[in-house]
Amino acid sequence: MSDTLSTDTELDPVEAPVLESFCTRLLTAAGLLEDHARTVSRNLVEAELRGISSHGVSRLRYYVDKIRSGGINTRPDMRVVREGHAYAVIDADNAPGAPAGVYAMDLCIGKARESGVGLVTVHGGNHFGYAAFYSRLALDHDMIGFTGCNTPAVVAVYGGSEPMLGTNPLSYAVPAGSAPPIIFDGATSTVARGKLVRALATGEPLGEGWALDSGGAPARTAEEALAGTLLAFGDYKGSAIAILVEVLSTLLSGAASSVDAGEIYADPTDPQRIGFFFGAIDISRFADLSEFKKRVDTLSETLRSSRRREGFCEIVLPGELEGRIEAEQTRRGISLAPDLRRELALLQQEFEIPDGADTASSAQTVDRRAGRGTFR
């Protein structure tokens, strides 16, 4: 495992603190406040640790371009504009998504501690990374956490063939006793759009039923899918859940609807103006906490021990696979693909991030003719 981003072997894993430090220094150099840069970096690296690379450090280029172009407010005045004992509405003032999300979830947890439940909505937000980053915050307080957000329209409503809804992810986290917590995080589309972006870069094939091309026919390549529209998971059921996320994220918060939201990829100068919602439930207000956790353990064991379907070697609950990946990558380091390392090298050169133990080492070189960084 490497303590620098640059190694003798491009695929040598990188320690999570090294990667997080590099991202923080890069985002600070791009213009973010250091504490905001640190929060965004934690979100990206945690996604990598849990195997959600579509929402990991590959997003750095898009974030940086949006910061430099004014699409993200680097000095936001995030404030509560409506509030009660158990609820609040926050104006994020076009802040980076992750700091706005943590601010809102912390407020939500505080209200749940006071009132038993808390619900906070946010408008004026930007891409907030992977959603379980926020729902998991409730676990430290023995609470159930949930969150969701809208995104620019890239998903057809059930029966339609043009983008009308966002991928509109939803996440929840439930604490347990001796069993792993139950943690779900998923887009309401069949796949997250970030997976298509990665597939375009890597040449990976598309799954069946992921997307339609611009003419409404099943997409065969990532390029066709990105020019067309994604499909909701589970047909009308996923579409219905995406509509609920849209309502909670936008109509309840005052944020831009998905069809009106700014793009993260196409125009870096355009603020996204998307919305988030966060919820927290103080379990101790509804049940004995230790008994609740025991029952979660029992539920988990009962589900895992049920009869398996043909072709399955085990039954895993939401968050278990990600938890295993996180434990393994915390131990051995995070694997970064060669093309991603080259992108990080370019960003390091672009922002003149000095070499050192917490960034890329002096072993890095840049092939200017090819316009890309390399590691040797």
**Cut 0.85: pTM above it:** yes
Position 363 scores a pLDDT of 29
Domain spans in the chain, listed from the N-terminal domain onward: 16-68+332-375, 79-189+232-289
Count Cα neighbours of 62 within 13 Å in the Cβ-side half-sphere.
24
Render pLDDT for 334-349 as a digit per residue (tens, 0 to 9): 999 898 999 999 999 9
Domain 79-189+232-289 listed as CATH 3.30.1370.60:
yes
* Structural fold of domain 16-68+332-375: Hypothetical Oxidoreductase Yiak; Chain: A, domain 1 (1.10.1530)
Phi, psi (deg, nearest 5) at residue 122: -135, 135
pLDDT at 197 over 60: yes
Render pLDDT for 215-244 as a digit per residue (tens, 0 to 9): 999 998 999 998 999 999 999 999 999 999
Position 358 scores a pLDDT of 47
Render pLDDT for 81-128 as a digit per residue (tens, 0 to 9): 999 999 999 999 999 999 999 999 999 999 999 999 999 999 999 999
Position 76 scores a pLDDT of 98
Position 41 scores a pLDDT of 98
Tell me if 35 sits within 8 A of 375, measured CB to CB: no
- Output the average pLDDT for the chain: 90
Tally Cβ neighbours within 10 Å of residue 118.
27
Per-residue pLDDT, averaged over 301-323, amounts to 97
Write the CA distances from 283 to 86, 119, 132, 180, integer angstroms: 15, 15, 19, 17
